[in-house]
Amino acid sequence: MRFENMTDAIGNTPLVRIDAAVHGLRNIDLYAKMELLNPFGSLKDRAAWNMARPLLAQAVERGDTVVELSSGNTAKALAVIAGMHGLTFKSVTNRMKVTEIKDLLLLLGAEIDELPGQAECLDPSDTDDPLTRMYHRLAESDGGYLHTDQYFNELNVDAHLNGTGPEIVKDLDGRAPDYFIACVGTAGSSTGVAAALRQHNPEVRVVGLVAHKSDFIPGIRTIDEVHEVGLFDPDVYDEVETITADDAIDGLLTLVRRCGTLAGPTGGGAYQGAVRHLRAIDAQLTERRTAVFIVCDRVESYMSYLRERRPELFGRPPRRNSLRTVTDAEVRQAAVVDVAEAERWIAERRGLVVDLRSPFAYQALHIDGSVNIVDEIFAELLHGGLPFGRRQPVLLVCPVGEKSARYAALLTRMGHPDVRSLDGGIIAWRDAGAELVRD
Amino acid sequence: MPLYLSPRIGPTLQSALDETALMAQLSDALGSPLGVILPQQVADNVAAFRSIFSAHRLAGQIYYAHKANRSSALVRELAATDAGIDVASLAELQHALGAGFGPQRIMATGPKNEEFLWLCAVTGVTVSADSVGELAALATLVTNWSLPRVRVMARLSGFSSTGVRFTSRRSRFGMSAAAVSEVLDLIEKHAGALDLVGMAFHLDTIGLPEKAVALEGCLGALDECRRRGLRPWSVDIGGGFGVDYLADGTQWERYTTALTEAVLGRRAPLTWAGHGYGLRAEGGHVRGALNLYPAHRPVSGPAYLDRLLRTTAPEQRRPLGTLLLDNMYDLHVEPGRALLDQCGLVLTRVLEVRDEANGDTIVRLDCNARDVSLEEHGVLMDPVVVHRTTTAAAGPVGVYLFGNLCLEADLITRRKVFLPSRPRTGDLLAFVNTAGYLMDFSATQALRQPIGRKVALYRDGGAWRWCLDEQYWPVHRRVEAA
Ligand SMILES: Cc1ncc(COP(=O)(O)O)c(C=O)c1O
Ligand SMILES: Cc1ncc(COP(=O)(O)O)c(C=O)c1O
């Protein structure tokens, strides 16, 4: 395979059978359309390229900025495509919730504009949805934008009508599957694929999956939000069902651990939703049927999402010398000095003063002669052992004397014989009128 | 299935509601509408906020945003706690002083006229200044009247962030965070008149990320102060901590989904004249945004403050609470709505219940939409029916609540309200948890209809007692048993 451009590698993804031993359906062959293998990482590469391509020549001529309301895969694909053509990409979002994607966008050189959150006091003049707000902004600017408009652009649907859908039919030897299950974001993929499949077999059952109302599954809409989508037409779907974030993660775990498929949450949700929907049907069947679902993107971008929801999946062995293991009894036994005593101790240059506060706070005002090791870094150092010799007397300083007492207790336990904490912390020091300096 | 939006009712409020005979008596004696204030609850709410301060080891003041309710009982009860008060008008300042707040516990915010500024300066309350012009006017006042230095906070707005750009709604208030050096120049020029004690903001948003950017912006401004040798020690993060109005989040979800369907015409209208609360249908799709208070807010009040303090500062990458503490700054808050959670209700009398030819049931109340301003503030929450006699026809009923003004628009709420049982003429509807902004914030005497009276209801010696709001003082005169 030799290509002139990465965009030539978009599409033609494999259709892979899911092992019956995993899904447990007896009469249904279940296949996954592996959209995660697209070059920029997702199904949305197809839509992004199809929507942007016809406008690029003109945009390059004028130096337009590519803009889209997206906090995920569409933004990612458009940012790459814009970059390939020397254009800037701006992502407008309601809330950029997945940190990895945000960081990737920034790495790609994208600008990210967050729209304001909901007003606490009701403001009757604030009647617009994010999309309308973005339209207003584009209208206010005097041009200079290539807006791909994924929620309304038919080219989004066409990418799948002419690409994803026919590929599935070809790989099933010219037959459409009996069931097609897909998550709904812009509805572009499900609408396009459904239309292509129905050209071959009008009887195809299409199931659209949306997120449970109070759940967040990155990339797709909730049951209410889906009605805001311009491309969404309820008649496309024989059924619209909801999946929870838990379903999505359960499915994701099955795909990544057992199916060699490094799927993101919507791939997992589509798998879980498909098996749930098909299980009831499977029990009644007497002949073989075929079902296809879409794996939209890859797992790597969702580590923080998974860590937040399933911390137990990331369980690591406890680290040694951890502050959390210090008991209250140990803290009570830690040596403390009050402000007057500390002033004397410092004046006589009896040892090292370590200020555990943030660098900014330290730089603004601190005790003369102290060194700054912010607590996070201090904790990190202690995992490795004592960062100073046992014969080096130490005075620890923090805001109110609590953290420093805990660290003093920890250092004592680690075998340091001469460590103490400033009682009441730097706030007591300030309140006593003792000297604070800045350099 | 009736689409209830049942209010969240705490034990104190419930125990007051259970006094049905007393409620009926009060309503008969003092008229409808009647604001019922539970002043003692506010002290518990102060303590709940205080406990978040303690958990983060932060010092600072909880300033009650007086604008949320005109009640004297609340202000006097608060004067007996360790809270402060945020006053936003000359009359509110007079009220606070008269209720027992000393000037060191008062913060003056909002747009101010010269009289307001003068009384602030003479009494020595802290002035949270909205503009450079206000600071200049204050300095002139202090100089001309040879007054002692006035403590000032500089209210900032228009904070910027790096990386992800967080847009905030434009605010009428505050000085540009980017131009803080101008503000400090002026303060230094008038060092004899103005004593800068901190930086402030108040953002009208429920969004934590915007507040995180603003708080970190204040830290940056305070850094600039330190560079110049000024020593302000506090950050005031304003109000907007919110209230969780509903008992059951699934009711809220069911209701809003049903509203979307109704707007799309997929089910019978849930509102008067098909009002969509900001949603509208265009070509089979929903447009607009739900223009409502998020009545189901599990993280609100003190918990919201806690969440904010735990939020990592976008630039310095440390929790905001830790940064405040690192810098030895006091944290000030100005909660209005959140501090009045569960602090009162509005009692209204049912004048008429009738069934219309089209099947709608109308309940006409002796109050208007300004007396219980749920609609104006976008709070969707059901009233509680207080039956005078035994329950009328059992079973739920969907009704429209009409007000007493001769105005087509005077509906207490434009949505159909589902009540668990049908009220009768003379019964009472209690709009609970309305002390914050929903009681008298916009009450008027249009059509010469009276503004509702207010009573304070308090526990004393194990019993509920009441007096007119203006008669209430935290020192309760024991009523001797007869
Ligand atoms: C991760 C993920 N899954 C599924 C979808 C749904 O695809 P479509 O927008 O074609 O409905 C999207 C779309 O943004 C997505 O980002
Ligand atoms: C400056 C200021 N502080 C505090 C508040 C109180 O806000 P809330 O009642 O939402 O807590 C307001 C409300 O408008 C305000 O403008």
Does the distance separating the beta carbons of A227 and B249 come in below 8 Å? no
pLDDT at B482 over 50: no
Task: Kindly indicate whether the domain formed by B11-38+342-471 is annotated with CATH number 2.40.37.10.
Answer: yes
Q: How far is the CA of A124 from the centre of ligand 1 (A)?
A: 33
Q: Does B210 touch chain A (CB under 8 A)?
A: yes
Q: Which residue has the tokens 């209010």?
A: B7
Q: Does A399 touch chain B (CB under 8 A)?
A: yes
Chain A residues lying within 8 Å of B164, measured CB to CB: 96, 102, 106, 112, 114
pLDDT at B246 over 50: yes
Q: Which residue has the tokens 């919110």?
A: B242
Ligand nearest to the CA of A76: 1
Which are the contacts of A324, defined by CB distance < 8 A and separation ≥ 6?
Answer: none
pLDDT tens digit string along B212-240? 999 999 999 999 999 999 999 999 999 99
CATH number belonging to domain A1-318: 3.40.50.1100
> How close B180 gets to chain A, by Cα (Å)?
17
Q: Which residue has the tokens 């002796």?
A: B366
Contact (Cβ atoms closer than 8 angstroms) between residue A79 and residue A109? yes
Residue range A293-306: average pLDDT? Answer: 96
Chain A residues lying within 8 Å of B57, measured CB to CB: 399-400, 402
Q: Does A250 touch chain B (CB under 8 A)?
A: no
For ligand 1, mutation pick of A43, A46, A151, A191 (most atoms within 8 Å of CB)? A43
Q: Does B301 touch chain A (CB under 8 A)?
A: no
Does the distance separating the beta carbons of A126 and B204 come in below 8 Å? no
Distance, CA of A115 to CA of B95 (rounded, Å) = 39
The pLDDT assigned to B289 comes to 86
Answer yes or no: is the C-beta of B109 below 6 A from any ligand 2 atom: yes
Confidence band of A68 (pLDDT split at 50, 70, 90): very high
Strand, coil or helix: A164:
helix
Distances from the Cα of B160 to the Cα of A90, A320, B44, B225, angstroms:
17, 41, 37, 18
Answer yes or no: is the C-beta of B156 below 6 A from any ligand 2 atom: no
pLDDT over 90, % of chain B? 81
Chain A residues lying within 8 Å of B257, measured CB to CB: 213, 223-224
Answer yes or no: is the C-beta of B419 below 6 A from any ligand 2 atom: no
Chain B residues lying within 8 Å of A121, measured CB to CB: 204, 240, 377, 437
Confidence band of A85 (pLDDT split at 50, 70, 90): very high
The pLDDT assigned to A228 comes to 85
| Helices assigned H by DSSP within B377-420 | none
Instruction: Supply the mean pLDDT for chain B.
Output: 93
Helix (H) or strand (E) holding A341: helix A339-347
> How close B322 gets to chain A, by Cα (Å)?
9
Type of residue numbered B423: P
Q: Does A232 touch chain B (CB under 8 A)?
A: yes
Q: Does A230 touch chain B (CB under 8 A)?
A: yes
pLDDT tens digit string along B254-303? 999 999 999 999 899 999 988 999 998 888 888 888 889 999 999 999 99
Confidence band of B481 (pLDDT split at 50, 70, 90): very low
Chain B residues lying within 8 Å of A362, measured CB to CB: 326
What ipTM did this prediction achieve? 0.80
Q: Which atom of ligand 1 is nearest to the CA of A265?
A: 1
Contact (Cβ atoms closer than 8 angstroms) between residue A50 and residue A56? no
Chain B residues lying within 8 Å of A437, measured CB to CB: none
pLDDT tens digit string along B376-423? 999 999 999 999 876 666 789 999 999 988 787 789 999 999 999 999
Does the distance separating the beta carbons of A229 and B328 come in below 8 Å? no
Burial label, B320 (beta-carbon count in 10 A; 0-12, 13-18, 19+)? buried
Helix (H) or strand (E) holding B128: strand B126-129
Query: Lowest-pLDDT range, A1-5, A21-25, B125-129, B459-463?
Result: B459-463
Q: How far is the CA of A73 from the centre of ligand 1 (A)?
A: 7
Structure tokens given for B348: 């209204």
Q: How many other CB atoms sit within 10 Å of the CB of residue A15?
A: 16
The pLDDT assigned to A128 comes to 64
Strand, coil or helix: A411:
helix
pLDDT tens digit string along A409-437? 999 999 999 999 999 999 999 999 999 99
Does the distance separating the beta carbons of A102 and B286 come in below 8 Å? no
* Greater model confidence, A397 or B477: A397
The pLDDT assigned to B391 comes to 62
Q: Select from B59, B166, B285 the Cβ nearest to the Cβ of A228.
A: B285
Ligand nearest to the CA of A192: 1
**Helix, strand, coil percent values for chain B (each to nearest 5):** 35, 25, 45
Q: How far is the CA of A198 from the centre of ligand 1 (A)?
A: 21
Buried b (16+ CB within 10 A) or exposed e, B340-351: bbbbbbbbbbbe
pLDDT tens digit string along B80-131? 999 999 999 999 999 999 999 999 999 999 999 999 999 999 999 999 999 9
Distance, CA of B16 to CA of B28 (rounded, Å) = 17
Distance, CA of A308 to CA of A310 (rounded, Å) = 6
For chains A and B, count residue pairs whose Cβ atoms are closer than 8 Å: 134
The pLDDT assigned to A140 comes to 74
Chain A residues lying within 8 Å of B301, measured CB to CB: none
Tell me which of B282, B293, B322 to substitute to probe the interface with A (most A C-beta atoms closer than 10 Å): B322
> Where along chain B do its domains lie?
11-38+342-471, 40-242+297-339, 249-288
Q: Which atom of ligand 1 is nearest to the CA of A218?
A: 1
Closest CA to A115 of A134, A138, A141, A139: A134
The pLDDT assigned to A124 comes to 58
pLDDT at A107 over 50: yes
> Where along chain A do its domains lie?
1-318, 326-431
Which are the contacts of B438, defined by CB distance < 8 A and separation ≥ 6?
Answer: B346, B372, B373, B374, B377, B379, B431
Distances from the Cα of A245 to the Cα of A206, A272, A300, B450, angstroms:
21, 11, 17, 52
Q: How many other CB atoms sit within 10 Å of the CB of residue A351?
A: 17
DSSP 8-state code for residue A436: -
Q: Does B256 touch chain A (CB under 8 A)?
A: yes
CATH number belonging to domain B40-242+297-339: 3.20.20.10
Query: Lowest-pLDDT range, A135-144, A164-173, A264-273, B453-462?
Result: A135-144
The pLDDT assigned to A122 comes to 64
Task: Find the residues whose C-beta lies inside 6 A of ligand 1.
Answer: A 43-44, 72-74, 183-190, 219-220, 264, 266, 296-297
Q: Does B254 touch chain A (CB under 8 A)?
A: no
Q: Does B292 touch chain A (CB under 8 A)?
A: yes
Chain B residues lying within 8 Å of A112, measured CB to CB: 163-165
Architecture of domain A326-431: 3-Layer(aba) Sandwich (3.40)
Type of residue numbered A215: D
Residue of A nearest to B264 (CA): A227
Tell me which of B286, B326, B442 to substitute to probe the interface with A (most A C-beta atoms closer than 10 Å): B326
DSSP 8-state code for residue A36: G
For chain B, give the number of residues: 482
Does the distance separating the beta carbons of A357 and B326 come in below 8 Å? yes
* Greater model confidence, A135 or B97: B97
CA B265 to the chain's CA centroid? 35
pTM over cut 0.95: no
- CA dihedral of A423, A427, A433, A438, whole degrees rounded to 10: 120
Answer yes or no: is the C-beta of B275 below 6 A from any ligand 2 atom: no
Q: How far is the CA of A201 from the centre of ligand 1 (A)?
A: 24
Distances from the Cα of B72 to the Cα of A84, B76, B83, B92, B147, angstroms:
66, 6, 15, 10, 30
Residue range A44-71: average pLDDT? Answer: 95
Q: Select from B57, B322, B328 the Cβ nearest to the Cβ of A426.
A: B328
Q: Does B168 touch chain A (CB under 8 A)?
A: yes
Q: Select from B288, B294, B327 the Cβ nearest to the Cβ of A364.
A: B327
Distances from the Cα of A168 to the Cα of A32, A172, A236, A240, B24, angstroms:
10, 6, 18, 22, 71
Q: Which residue has the tokens 């309820």?
A: A234
Residue of B nearest to A125 (CA): B291
Direct distance between the N- and C-terminal alpha carbons of chain A, in angstroms, rounded to an integer = 62
Q: Does A380 touch chain B (CB under 8 A)?
A: no
**Looking at ligand 2, which residue's alpha carbon is closest to its atom 12?**
B239
DSSP 8-state code for residue A210: E
Query: Lowest-pLDDT range, A51-60, A318-327, A386-395, B40-49?
Result: A318-327
What pairs with residue B353 in β-bridges? B363
pLDDT tens digit string along A208-257? 999 998 789 999 999 888 988 889 999 999 999 999 999 999 999 999 99
Radius of gyration over alpha carbons of chain B, in Å? 24
The pLDDT assigned to B479 comes to 52
* Greater model confidence, B146 or A138: B146
Type of residue numbered B380: L
Contact (Cβ atoms closer than 8 angstroms) between residue A377 and residue A387? no
pLDDT at A123 over 70: no
**Looking at ligand 1, which residue's alpha carbon is closest to its atom 15?**
A219
Does the distance separating the beta carbons of A364 and B285 come in below 8 Å? no
Peptide bond into B33 cis (omega under 30): yes
Structure tokens given for A194: 């459904």
pLDDT tens digit string along A318-346? 789 999 899 999 999 999 999 999 999 99
pLDDT over 90, % of chain A? 82
